[in-house]
Structure 1
């Protein structure tokens, strides 16, 4: 691996008391190119600009996918990654569906560890702050013929971040627009999935919400995801989340939360959830909690759900399941309890 270090660090210019999400970047990045049918030598170099023409293939045909993950500094001062193998596996699942080459383990995992080792001073030791990591893969040939690219680029950039959402979230159940359809690419972290969500989300924001709850493409009768997150509902004594399909992203945070809840003795159901069921539960007081689950937000409490002009306030108890699971994940990530699942991977 080729390594070129930055001549001067930008770390001293970062205000860790004011961290807008994904705006500040660490001193270095990892870049690796796929060309002539093979991956070339990966390189860690100073964070900088993309060198490409306006014929860049990804800009025209959307062959692009990414991951979101985080590094944490535990109470002993050690830096560790949360379940990085799962991100590598999921990126390659997205790559397969988008007809892009598989990223080798030594490029993704070994390169990631070395990058974080070099920039480990950027990882905060904090309850709510962390180093957000963005691995991504895109087509980098420069032609505008409508066919797959011949060249691809894998890169990793990092950004110190605070909370994604400030406070509780208000969401609208979407009954017009669709995030994903069966047979499509909803299960991937394709860039286009997110670009296509901006317009419906902006319309919801105009109505006073923060995000939307996506529903199925056929009849908008089933709950699927909450914005860029998976969703968990507490109806009565049960914790309920939609089952994974080819329309729903297999969230790593989702999997971790489901695992912990079951270990703690909670009744967790992964099953289809009808919009009508959620609305009825909200009306009669059976909807006890709702929260989104994702890498960026981790656990994002939903305070209000709207549907067809009606708004339903959802309880947000300080000692509720959302608070419990947030603390449980933090305890593991920050080394306050034993990591029985070996989720944390330490960086030298």
Structure 2
């Protein structure tokens, strides 16, 4: 395993005061991790350096052809002061899935985990302790060849930056309003929908802008072919509680395999609940809502953890779910997941990793 060189900042930044607002993705810690890739040499020169601008030529391929992938994960300050990561092995495995699709060389997953642990350990004083706050960790890889031409990059950078954050949605755990997109599509099978790559999010901007104009928080995407099967929310996987069954769209190549999604499914099945991964149409959800059988809907993701859905707008149809209030399944999942992440609940599953 390569040695990670460390250069500590000589000008540490002022940290947010306890209890101060932590708007998502705007405040960054003192240090970042960088590792380079060069064809014929492989991944090399891993280092932790002061956070700051990077030098890149205007012809860098990532700026023109979008060869970039990323992950999203968090570090939590447990009630006893320990710093915990949540299933980092799954994030690094998924990063390599994205790498494969974007023709990016595979990373050593174990080494990447250790690099992240080391970075978080160095910046451990940045991990907030306020209720619901955490340190968001953003690993990403970009192609930096100074070349205007379409081919897989021969020179890349793997970087990790961190930022202390509060709740992702302004509503917090209060149910959000979701807009079902009918005109635009984000991904199709055979495309890149199952990866975390910049292009997927660029494809969502137009619909997100339209949703916000109508005072909706996020977009729920339908499949790109028949425009009727539910896929995912822009930043979350999605679940529906219909009668006594929890239904979530199956993974078939056009939606992201969420780490929180996986954890929710494992947890609910552990509790003896009926959880089904299958195709589910917006018509089925609308019928269930009309018949009073749609008991809950919620999203899951690293940023929001669990986000109950109180309103779903599909064309002229507006579905109010559970009277616009959080339901018992959403609440139990949120309490248990965050309990494990913050060390308040025993981790029966072995999902947390302590940062030394």
Paired with 2:16 and 2:222, the residues of 1 have a C-alpha distance of 43
Paired with 1:185 and 1:245, the residues of 2 have a C-alpha distance of 11
Report the equivalent of 1:19: 22
Query: Larger deviation: 204-213 or 187-196?
Result: 204-213
Report the equivalent of 2:215: 208
Paired with 2:188 and 2:15, the residues of 1 have a C-alpha distance of 46
Q: Is the 8 A contact 1:42 1:107 kept in 2?
A: no
Report the equivalent of 1:95: 99
Q: CA RMSD in A?
A: 1.3
TM-score between both structures, scaled by the size of structure 2: 0.95
Report the equivalent of 2:11: 8
Report the equivalent of 1:195: 202
SS of the residue 1:219 aligns to: coil
SS of the residue 2:8 aligns to: coil
1:324 has 2:332 as partner: yes
Report the equivalent of 1:180: 187
The alpha carbon displacement at 1:151 in A equals 0.2
The alpha carbon displacement at 1:334 in A equals 1.6
* 2:306 maps to which of 299, 308, 318: 299
Paired with 1:12 and 1:165, the residues of 2 have a C-alpha distance of 22
Query: Larger deviation: 59-68 or 256-265?
Result: 256-265
Paired with 2:103 and 2:93, the residues of 1 have a C-alpha distance of 15
Q: Render the CA deviation track for 1:43-81: whole Å, top value 9, x for unaligned.
A: 100000010121111010100000000000111100010
* 2:275 maps to which of 268, 271, 288: 268
Unaligned runs of 5+ in 2: none
Where do residues 1-348 of structure 1 align in structure 2 (5 Å cutoff)? Answer: 1-13=4-16, 16-37=19-40, 38-167=42-171, 168-315=175-322, 316-318=324-326, 320-348=328-356
Q: Render the CA deviation track for 1:208-232: whole Å, top value 9, x for unaligned.
A: 2111110111111101101221001
Q: Is the 8 A contact 1:26 1:119 kept in 2?
A: yes
SS of the residue 2:219 aligns to: strand
Paired with 1:142 and 1:283, the residues of 2 have a C-alpha distance of 56
Unaligned runs of 5+ in 1: none
The alpha carbon displacement at 1:309 in A equals 1.6
